[in-house]
Amino acid sequence: MFALTLNSQNLPYPDPIHPIVVHFIAMVFFSFICDILGHSTYNAHLFEVAFWNILVGAMATFVAIVFGQFEAGLAQVYSVVQSTLNFHTLIGWSLGAIIAAITAWRFMIRDHLRRAERHRNPLKLPPGYLGIATFLICLVFLQVYLGSKLFWVYSLHVEAVVKVMKQGVSP
């Protein structure tokens, strides 16, 4: 076994990387906003923006899962935190699959709109897509809430709490 040298936040690198990668999952939310605006204003530019943004979000999700698992493994999880962390982990992995599937659907819609462009008014999205995307955004918001709670309430990887835990004091 090799030993990692951990800093005052119990990490082998200066700052947690998971919350940094999460910045790019926020693009899933921006994609949804662009789809809604594009759908209601018949703007093809916004559809293109929505597609690329959800693609970025889907790619970032996998990176976020990897770093999330790594940093969760290095966190000093005390008893009240456990259920929130479990829930965050479960939704995180589920989102990996759900965002990938919805991105694939968005890709097919884009393909379809491009082919239909010459024939008829192509500037509408299937209502089913918007419905599923609304569900996805709710799930993302729940996930953001749980993740924020892990840091801002339970203070995982926050120096003051890491210090206390290292001294072996309960929690």
Partner 1 sequence: MNSQWIDSLGLRLGTNGLPYEIPMHPQLVHLTLGLFIIAILFDIAGAIFPIERPIFRFLGLPAIRSGFFDVGWYNLLGASIVTFFTVAFGFCELLLTNAPINQKSDWGLNASWTLLLHGVGGVLLLGVIVAMTFWRGLQRYHWRKGASRQVQWFYLLVGIVIMGILYIHGTLGGQLGSEFGVHVTAAKLVQEGANPDLLPK
Which residue in 6, 40, 45, 101 binds partner 1 (CB under 8 A)?
45
Which residue in 13, 42, 52, 135 binds partner 1 (CB under 8 A)?
52
Q: Which two tokens mark 36?
A: 């809604």
Tell me the torsion sign for CA atoms 52, 61, 29, 108. Answer: positive
Residues numbered 66-125 forming contacts with partner 1, rule: CB under 8 A: 78-80, 83-84, 111, 114
Tell me the torsion sign for CA atoms 70, 21, 132, 29. Answer: positive
CA dihedral 158, 164, 168, 171 (to 10 degrees): -70
Residue 151 near residue 88 (C-beta atoms within 8 A):
no
C-beta closer to partner 1: residue 1 or 73: 73
Q: Which stretch binds partner 1 (CB under 8 A): 24-32, 95-103, 120-128, 129-137?
A: 24-32
Q: Which two tokens mark 39?
A: 């759908």
Which residue in 67, 70, 105, 151 binds partner 1 (CB under 8 A)?
151
- Taking the C-alpha atoms of residue 132 and residue 99, their distance in angstroms, rounded to an integer, is 11
Which residue in 3, 4, 160, 168 binds partner 1 (CB under 8 A)?
160
- Taking the C-alpha atoms of residue 165 and residue 171, their distance in angstroms, rounded to an integer, is 7
| Binding interface with partner 1 (CB under 8 A) | 8-9, 14-16, 19, 22-24, 26-27, 29-30, 33-34, 45-46, 48-49, 52-53, 56, 78-80, 83-84, 111, 114, 144-145, 148-149, 151-155, 157-161, 163-164, 170-171
